[in-house]
Amino acid sequence: MSDASELIAEIEKLGERLALAKASIGRRFIGQDRVVDLTLSALLCGGHGLLVGLPGLGKTRLVDTLSTVMGLNGRRIQFTPDLMPADILGSEVLETADDGSRAFRFIKGPIFCQLLMADEINRASPRTQSALLQAMQEKAVTIAGHEHELDAPFHVLATQNPIEQEGTYPLPEAQLDRFLLQIDVPYPDRGTEHDILMATTGTSEDEAEAVFTGEELLAAQTTLRRMPVGEAIVAQILDLVRACRPESPEAPQIVKENVAWGPGPRAAQSLMLTVRAQALLDGRLAPSPEDVASMAAPVLKHRMALSFAARARGVELGDVINDVTNSVLATEAAA
């Protein structure tokens, strides 16, 4: 069998497994298919996700279910103003042996897991938030000058309330950029909310089942990176990201008038990965322009900022991104 045939077989097999995973997730997290797809995309790409939504929309339930379905060792940290970095990373303690000698021993914190839920991450101080920076980027932490590798795979799924700002600390741009996707969690529609009521207010609930293991998820991440991306899709990704930078000569007027700063190269890297994940989840062998349009806002929204004047006028960043995306894709299609 040729390398191309083997890759096609791997992608098709992985697509079938992902369909089973989505069905298993759906037993405990009902509806919200878009949210589930985006969260799975973050894991398939080896990245982290920022879940933004009001309390009570099932964000914690989703992460807990993902931990089971993907076969990952999951832990949860409730971020509070008094949380310290050592509460996340761990610390060294001085121990006395039977012979009277003393030595430091490192006690691992909850970050030593495979799927970390950082609940209400913006409620912790900037000092505590910064404890995640090295872990999210380098998959390791440094304590007392010693580097400790984290488990593989390692993913952070953080939650954030978009409305309540009292007692919160906005995430710095450097940390936001380390999240592969911003996943907006909306209210469910009426039919979904009816199904939630019926499924969760009885004497028992359906349970999710494991579909993947940690090792299989790592293999899936490798398969995703081998998925081919056509030159036309690469060009669309580059044109879109560059068009979102207000200082770029390629930026349209809507960006120059409303955007304070735009996305960096990591945004293009994230789009290259997530369009592949979207294709995989849809059971396709390669990404399409529709995948670029679908993943543009989740990849770009937290990597851009509106100017003060644009915010005063009530401009929505999502509308700007959609306008630029439609313009870029239409130009590419015409060419």
Domain at 300, CATH number: 1.10.8.80
Is 49 among the domain residues?
no
Is 321 among the domain residues?
yes
Structurally, how many domains does the chain consist of?
Answer: 1
Report the amino acid identity of residue 255.
V
Domain housing 312: 228-335
Give the separation between CA 323 and CA 70, rounded to whole angstroms. 36
Total residues belonging to the chain: 335
pLDDT tens, position by position, 211-270: 999 999 999 999 999 999 999 999 999 999 999 999 988 889 999 999 999 999 999 999
Instruction: Determine the 3-state secondary structure of 263 from DSSP.
Output: coil
pLDDT tens, position by position, 164-217: 666 677 888 888 889 999 999 989 889 988 888 888 887 777 788 889 999 999
Is 323 among the domain residues?
yes
pLDDT at position 114, please? 93
Is 193 among the domain residues?
no
C-alpha dist (Å) from residue 288 to 4, 249, 285, 332: 19, 26, 10, 12
CA-CA-CA-CA torsion sign (314, 318, 321, 326): negative
Is 250 among the domain residues?
yes
Phi-psi region of 139 (alpha: psi -120 to 50; beta: other; left: phi over 0): left
Beta bridge partners, 160, equal 52
C-alpha of 183 from chain center = 7
Is 51 among the domain residues?
no
Beta bridge partners, 147, equal 142
Is 311 among the domain residues?
yes
Q: What is the pTM of this model?
A: 0.90
Question: Rounded to 5 degrees, what are φ and ψ at 70?
Answer: -90, 0
Whose structure tokens read 């349009």? 293
What are the tokens at 222? 């490798």
Is 326 among the domain residues?
yes
DSSP 10-52: HHHHHHHHHHHHHHHHTTTS-S-HHHHHHHHHHHHTT--EEEE
Q: Look at residue 2 and tell me whether its pLDDT is greater than 80.
A: no
Give the separation between CA 10 and CA 7, rounded to whole angstroms. 5
CA-CA-CA-CA torsion sign (145, 151, 154, 158): negative
